Amino acid sequence: MDIEIIDRLSIREAVENWVVWRDAGDWERFRSVWSDDGMMIATWFQGTADEFIRVSKEGWNRGVSILHFLGGTSIDLTGKRAIAQTKMTISQRAAVDGVVCDIICTGRFYDFFEKCERGWKVVHRQPIYEKDRIDAVVPGKGPELDPEILGLFPQGYRHLAYAQTKIGYTVKRDMPGLKGPEVEALYEMGRAWLNGDALIR
């Protein structure tokens, strides 16, 4: 089989393993998809892969429910580096002002990959948040959202951020969305990565 096809399949497999193993709480295998110095940037967490695993385990043990579902992947491949963009949804169930809700956020995983002796590994993951919504699990019993809190966050993930704020997380307010300077800066980082530049984080 052509080596480029193998590389692309290996990258896609890593993207899928990330979601399956993380959502299943299979933490040892989840660590294996990351590079040694892997970094995770999300609404509620920004830091190393090891620290992300630690806080994810803590949330798992407290009953925090954050699940992921994947769509198609587009991969830009240059030698031993790649950028993978994968359509995804984040689904979080949480009590919002006493009402159990499901929050659905649609976007993309934007992954910086590098090939090493252990194969293709995630060096840096930055989700792009495109749109979201919040629904009461029991229809007709929705929470009354505080517009002041909702307005603190970009349109692409404001309901997700609202729920995460309400359960005690400090949420980053400048994550990339479908359009705007944040996502353009991320694309520029991706181009620089493929050109061989060091990743500035």
Q: Are 124 and 109 in contact (CB under 8 A)?
A: no
69: which 2 tokens? 């579902």
Backbone torsions φ then ψ of 19, nearest 5 degrees = -70, -50
* Band (179; pLDDT cuts 50, 70, 90): very high
Q: What is the DSSP string of 139-181?
A: TT------HHHHTTS-GGGHHHHHHHHHTTPPPPS----SSSH
Q: Which pTM was predicted?
A: 0.95
What is the rounded average pLDDT of the residues 90-99? 93
46: which 2 tokens? 């920004």
What is the rounded average pLDDT of the residues 136-164? 93
* Band (159; pLDDT cuts 50, 70, 90): very high
Going along the chain from its start, the domains and CATH numbers come out as 3-194 (3.10.450.50)
